[in-house]
Amino acid sequence: MKVVSFDKLVSWVGQRVSAKEIFSLDHTCMNEYAFQQKFVDYLSASRITTVSPYYVQTFLRRYIELIERSGEEMAEELYEIYCGELLGAKQLDVSDKEVITYHVGGFGSGAGTSDHTVKIYEAPRLISGSNTTGLRTWEAALYLSNYLNTHPYDWSGKTVLELGGGTGLLSLALTKQPLKEIIITDGSAALIDNLSETLHMNAIDNGPTIKCHQLLWGTTNPNSPDFVQGPPANVDVVVAADVTYDSSILDVLATTISDFLQSGTKMALIAATVRNEQTIADWNASLDRWFDGQWSVVNSCAVPGDIDSLCWFRERTPEIRVYEIRAKLG
């Protein structure tokens, strides 16, 4: 069973992991008075009681109950926060947005810093469904963000382009690497416009140049009647996550990746959550059609919920795979 540490707790609270999920783990150390005081200091120093009062109220209610049951001394400040500024807090509507903090520094469970986190403006209560693109960060994006900041790829001086940028988490996670440029693309022009707020909130200084462009899949081949624009020049690596959700779009996604690889891009890295066995089989078949002998699954996690890390995956998160597609040699 995972053991709650202070660093993990702060990271999970920033990600809005439910009190029920956190307290289902070994949380014995949280009853200690010194731990309570550290958590009070965190609540006072952060803005979480202001930006997410209902979440903190719900968490503290459960926390206080468990401390009382343990017989440990209670930090009065926990009561004061719970009964004071959080009184009357109301739950967000499903589509309401707030700032969520994600750990993207790798799968270790040690102390994290602000250099290892990304802030995303999203709707955390939203469930998967239609018209949710850009409103919620999904599991494969979080997984690939941490995988790429752990795995020893050579990012120095490279230009990376993300397809289906969504909330922007993956691209922002890669700003931790010595890249030259990151290009975030999505089919929705409105979503691209909204990313400016997220970029500003993360205050990226001394990092790679970041550009945002609308890019519709299936429109990058000059020989196609649907041609709109060619792939941006000098892209070394294409990345994408949670873009294989529907069998109907897999071939057009593959053709777009193919256009990049034929235009000088060396590699594509795609993270897919295996929510539907038929869809993932269709994706593999599409890869065989377009990239026979060029692709492989370079990493997979059958049970992401078992990962003991500062980033959180729900207990029933399906398998996540990382696909690598290479350009043809010669």
Residue-wise pLDDT tens digits, 249-305: 999 999 999 999 999 999 999 999 999 999 999 999 999 999 999 999 999 999 999
pLDDT for 1: 87
Residue corresponding to tokens 């995303």:
120
pTM metric for this prediction: 0.93
pLDDT for 89: 87
CA atoms in the 13 A half-sphere facing the CB of 42: 16
Beta bridge partners of 118: 102
Write out residues in the chain with pLDDT < 50, as ranges. Answer: 129-131
Beta bridge partners of 210: 182
Beta bridge partners of 211: 183
pLDDT for 129: 46
81 contacts 49 by C-beta, under 8 angstroms: yes
Residue type (1 letter), 276:
N
167 contacts 133 by C-beta, under 8 angstroms: no
pLDDT for 92: 79
Between CA 316 and CA 149 the distance in angstroms is: 24
Return all residues near 73 (Cβ < 8 A) that are at least 6 apart: 33
Distance of CA 85 to the CA centre of its chain: 30
Query: Is the CA virtual torsion 271, 273, 276, 281 positive or negative?
Result: positive
Residue type (1 letter), 274:
V
Fold of 98-326: Rossmann fold (3.40.50)
260 contacts 185 by C-beta, under 8 angstroms: no
Tokens of 205: 């200084």
Strands (E), 219-315: 237-241, 267-273, 295-301
Tokens of 2: 């995972």
Between CA 142 and CA 48 the distance in angstroms is: 21
Tokens of 184: 């975030």
Tokens of 66: 């468990």
Select from 323, 326, 329 the least CA-distant residue to 140: 323
Between CA 40 and CA 32 the distance in angstroms is: 13
Query: What percent of the chain has a predicted confidence (pLDDT) above 90?
Result: 74
Residue-wise pLDDT tens digits, 168-200: 999 999 998 999 999 999 998 888 888 888 888
Between CA 322 and CA 270 the distance in angstroms is: 6
Select from 60, 51, 63, 56 the least CA-distant residue to 23: 63
Tokens of 329: 């040699």
